Amino acid sequence: MKLRPLGRSVLTKWTRSLRVRSETVNKPQSLRNALNKAVPYVRNNPDKLHLFVDNGSLVATGASSMSWEYRYTLNVVIEDFSGDQNLLMAPVLLWLSASQPDAINNPELREKLFTFDVDILRNDVCDISLNLQLTERVLVNTDGSVSSVEAVTEPDEPEEMWTVKRG
């Protein structure tokens, strides 16, 4: 009698019916592109920009679907930077406004969203390490026996709301 590993047939069946959309969210690559466009030093020295995903976790929603959220620290290291640090920080903050609006608009989350360290090498040259607390959502939808997995963008920032009191 030949034994079959437990759960293998279920996993194989689920995997065969899985559709993965090619439109994925990739915040590290998105930030790399934004820095290449906005910061001449990064554009001219691409080998000096390093991205690391640290302290990652996957948090399931607990709903009936298998949707989840990635939570991680994106560590951005720029070596031998000799430009104006304000001209580096501004595009990162602009990118965060578009890519992580829930955190940038929340005073409690905003405090820990963006931290940095600087190693001063000489008077005009430093290594800069930026730490960004990021999330990426993944939705899993099931239609009959077919499940689809799709990375989704962050929700738009809430619009300002006004309340009118009568009386």
In a domain, 8, yes or no: no
Q: What is the pLDDT of residue 66?
A: 81
Residue 115 domain boundaries: 19-152
Q: What is the pLDDT of residue 129?
A: 98
pLDDT digits (tens, 9 = 90+) for 142-156: 777 777 777 777 665
pTM: 0.75
Q: What is the pLDDT of residue 23?
A: 47
Q: What angle do CA 78, 56, 19 make, to 5 degrees?
A: 110
The chain-wide mean pLDDT, for the chain, equals: 82
**What is d(CA 88, CA 114) in angstroms, rounded to the nearest whole number?**
13
In a domain, 9, yes or no: no
In a domain, 165, yes or no: no
pLDDT higher than threshold 50 for residue 2 = no
In a domain, 60, yes or no: yes
Q: What percent of the chain has pLDDT over 90?
A: 59
Residue 97 belongs to a domain with what CATH number?
3.30.2000
pLDDT digits (tens, 9 = 90+) for 62-114: 777 788 889 999 999 999 999 999 999 999 999 999 999 999 999 999 999 99
- Average pLDDT (4-9) is 40
In a domain, 59, yes or no: yes
Number of structural domains (the chain) is 1
In a domain, 53, yes or no: yes
Q: What are the distances in angstroms from CA 149 to CA 13, 34, 120?
A: 16, 26, 44
pLDDT higher than threshold 50 for residue 60 = yes
